[in-house]
Chain A
């Protein structure tokens, strides 16, 4: 299963980003192999409507879950319609640490 962690940088040692639509990077982890790949968010500094477009990136990548700090109303609608589970993590930490918490079942689904 593929999970997306919102990130401030392109690597797993970068800090997790608490914003969803304006996260500079999305890092996708495979929960079985623990392999990851980073995708730069082209909408990070967009003028508006960035939430649904960022959600589209996750949908197209086939992610089934996302770990982030918060999700705006429009992005929430898009993620939920696409059946992507949303997990909130609101403590500062690295992307790798966020992934380990997710994999270890330490996070609860937000909705």
Chain B
């Protein structure tokens, strides 16, 4: 069972949900947590632990100036503008624009291009407490190829039976990469117009990808019917509401877990998992 926690809007409580869901389940079974918010990973704040790291690399072209004739085929085939052909070989290469598609190497008639690996990030592995394994994707500063680091983190996660993934905000490529292959998506929103606006966007992505989803409304206000109305109109179950509560904020802001300090939440999150698994049609 792979559950992805996403939101559209940032700061709605994705990490709160992922961390507390994992902690509540760790009573019963081993849980694999994957931080897919590689531009700003933060699950480790709730589970501090050193662990060890492996690099993430991406293949980029290297040009052989002696073989290059300056024909320009590589620059023509590059959809990302990463290659500029000058009057004299070798071409000028912009590594941060390269998407590692390999097209330039394939099309070069002189065999003047080969690929070499370039480091763009790392994956950190840790075992912060009993029954929780944390895999964090970390994109190096200044790098842009977030989906590659997310794909690497997911491949290390493999087919673990209880995987919880924490997505980045937004609905762009990194979120799509993180969502792909998930069995269920928990969409975390809040009782604000921004929360609703971005929930609608995120919901449309899960629909495109065919991932069953449900909603958690954080900082929930009884007076706000708009999110509830939206969920009804889209046939989205509201899985849980979390009130706008000072004690929750205090625990969260000191790096604590509400499912540890407030036993009622441990039960709520464990129950959430049961409902999500049955909604997704999976046995526990």
Q: Do A and B interact?
A: yes
Residues of A within 8 A of B (CB): 43, 46, 48-53, 55-56, 59-60, 74, 77-78, 81-82
Contact indicator B86/A49 (Cβ below 8 Å):
no
Contact indicator A55/B82 (Cβ below 8 Å):
no
Residues of B within 8 A of A (CB): 72, 75, 78-87, 92, 94, 97
Write the chain A residue with the least CB distance to B98: A49
| Alpha-carbon separation in the docked complex, A109 to B84 (Å) | 22
Indicate whether A59 sits within 8 Å of B86 (C-beta atoms), given known contacts A48-B97, A77-B94, A78-B92. yes
Contact indicator A81/B86 (Cβ below 8 Å):
yes
Return chain B residues, CB-CB under 8 Å to A78.
Answer: 84, 92
From the candidates A49, A50, A51, A59, name the one contacting B85 in the complex (CB within 8 A). Answer: A59
Report the minimum CB–CB distance from A61 to chain B (whole Å).
12
Report the minimum CB–CB distance from B172 to chain A (whole Å).
12
From the candidates B72, B80, B92, name the one contacting A49 in the complex (CB within 8 A). Answer: B80
| Alpha-carbon separation in the docked complex, A48 to B144 (Å) | 12
Return chain A residues, CB-CB under 8 Å to B86.
Answer: 59, 81-82
Contact indicator B94/A52 (Cβ below 8 Å):
yes
Contact indicator B81/A49 (Cβ below 8 Å):
yes
Residue of A48, A50, A55 ringed by the most chain B CB atoms within 10 A = A48
From the candidates A60, A74, A82, name the one contacting B81 in the complex (CB within 8 A). Answer: A74
Return chain B residues, CB-CB under 8 Å to A53.
Answer: 75, 81, 84
Report the minimum CB–CB distance from A74 to chain B (whole Å).
5
Write the chain A residue with the least CB distance to B92: A81
